[in-house]
Structure 1
């Protein structure tokens, strides 16, 4: 009896966080340092904002665009594209994702914005725009760090991209003009070009997706899957985190002055954002568990529902209301809150894996 118990305890797998690389385990520290570095650069380096904004791609600063592409490429190169049919056939996952992203998510943000910012029209409008911009970029990083299903993430992000092009403008009109009128509230019109959104999707999803697909296709054809996953992918894997940190530094350098000069306003905007991320992530995670999804797909569902496309939200807010507007500040505060919160939720997800999904194989997404 004693021998059996001792053996069982010895064979128990180590905590999932312990399996992360040193770079991954210290990710909250690196991200915190990147945010501080960006804020300081934006405050102390004269003309940095002007230089970073001098060249734009689809309404977004070129350095941010480069960081996002570098960040997304390694993760999309890890996707096994020959397994995507196992995701497209999962109707529970696809239907749940569409409902969470395009019905529940915008409605939750609308309700929170009006609850917490009823007397701050510009910030309220900015948050509604953030709620309409469903995530197609950083969610891939959070999902990968939490050992979610890469193939499912690729499919759900692509699905969100299609709906973003088709529905963003319509939902913006509904939540900012029509619904406030029905409820007897004062709204604000939103003018946004569907072509601009399509360009945003094409650049920030299409380019790294195509690069990732071609890398895997050509790499496996030349040297086989074993070499590709055991030798090549570990070499390019850290590049995604370097791209993430670079993006954070540039983003906060661009908006450092706006954030640090209005700290109380940042707090006002942060409160409903914190509530939004908590509600959407926990609710989506609970839904995935309730409908019988695996850990990997439950995690993917939760992160794709909780994350937002802050790049698009900031571009739309600046393009519609101006760079110094309250709407733009609300968009900028979005990643200030989203990045540390979703990093924390990566570790929450890994901890819940041991409690709620004990039979899950930990090495599933290890390459």
Structure 2
């Protein structure tokens, strides 16, 4: 087995047991929080590494797809931008969440789509190209859309401006994504084997970074988890459920093919919780980072479950699902 095969095996192993690693290290952080709280100052750089990895997965053809299928991309992106922030705000009101937790839920709702949606779409036999296109659009628009929603929904609780959040999101999301995209272009042209190695190893790097972020937030909020953990978990589960239901409903109502409906389902429901954690830690409090950290755990439970259901339905009735990319 050569080096590239070894890297691919490591990446597959890390991704396949992602939920296990999160649960193990989150549990360890509850028992020995001091072992993980030292990671807190590094949350933003870790997110930058994750976004660099996302940039490495992008190619010019992904942007061509956005132009080729603007209708479905627009529907998925708008649904994600509208449904999740409004649902987050409604849940903070319905559950009477304390200000810090409310800000965390709203940050989560306003976040762009996460790369987990692409993985779940693939596992569900959905349209991966559409999923990647929607994730790309919502991520590139995040510096404007995310602070706008946060200011609108939690303005009276904020001590941070739109411009400050815009600047932060550009630094930790947009710049790393663009850098990864450019690096991929250069490597594909001059060192394709290195590019292949990077694509194989970065899933494992991303898993390590996400697990570290979740463990750090859990370690910093042990007391809050033990006292307010139930209501936060209810908010996170309900938020994710609304996203899954709305994404599926919007896809169906707009006449998308089955494969694209599945992509829309995950794009609306699965947020970039790491970005919400980073902004909560930087501008608010460790407690505000708790809802998106718990979401990182939960959506890696609900996502595979829904993907498995879709996949089994495809096998039971192959004609029900339009192959990815078909119009």
TM-score, normalised by the number of residues in structure 2? 0.78
Offset from partner CA, 1:334-366 (integer Å, 9 cap, x none) = 3132222223222233234346762647798xx
1:317 to 280, 289, 296: 280
Q: 2:271 aligns with which of 296, 303, 308?
A: 308
In structure 2, distance between residues paired with 1:119 and 1:236: 42
1:85 aligns with 2:68: no
Rounded to whole Å, the distance in 2 between the matches of 1:341 and 1:301 is: 15
* Partner in structure 2 of residue 249 of structure 1: 211
CA-CA distance at 1:249 after TM superposition:
2.7
Please state if 1:330 is matched with 2:291: yes
Task: Indicate the residue corresponding to 2:73 in structure 1.
Answer: 94
| 1:88–1:155 CA contact under 8 A, matched in 2 | no
State the Cα distance separating 1:100 from its structure 2 match.
0.7
> 2-side partners of 1:318 and 1:293: how far apart?
38
Verify: 1:62 aligned to 2:57, yes or no: no
2:157 counterpart of 1:188: yes
| Aligned mates of 2:35, 2:109 — CA distance in 1 | 31
1:332-351 to 2 correspondences below 5 Å? 332-351=293-312
- May I ask how many residue pairs the two structures share in their alignment? 312
Which residue, 105, 128, 133 being the options, matches 1:127? 105
Deviation at 1:136, TM superposition (A): 4.2
Q: Which residue of the partner structure matches residue 93 of structure 2?
A: 114
Alpha-carbon contact 1:38-1:252 (below 8 Å) kept: yes
Aligned to 1:158: 136
Deviations 1:8-43 (A, max 9, x none): xxxxxxxxxxxxx9x979967552244313541574
Larger radius of gyration: 1
- In 1, distance between residues paired with 2:220 and 2:116? 23
**Partner SS, residue 157 of structure 2:** coil
- SS state at 1:202 partner: helix
Q: Which residue of 2 aligns with 1:17?
A: none
Tell me, which stretches of 5 or more residues in structure 1 are unaligned?
1-20, 178-186, 223-227
- For residues 33-72 of structure 1, the aligned pairs below 5 Å read 33-40=21-28, 43-44=31-32, 46=34, 48-50=36-38, 52-54=39-41, 56=42, 60-67=43-50, 69-70=52-53, 72=54
> Of 233, 241, 254, which aligns to 1:270?
233
Kindly state the Cα deviation for residue 139 of structure 1 after the two structures are TM-superposed: 2.9
Q: Equivalent of 1:294, from 257, 264, 286?
A: 257
**TM-score, length-scaled by structure 1:** 0.71
Unaligned runs of 5+ in 2: 1-8
RMSD over equivalenced CA pairs, Å: 3.5
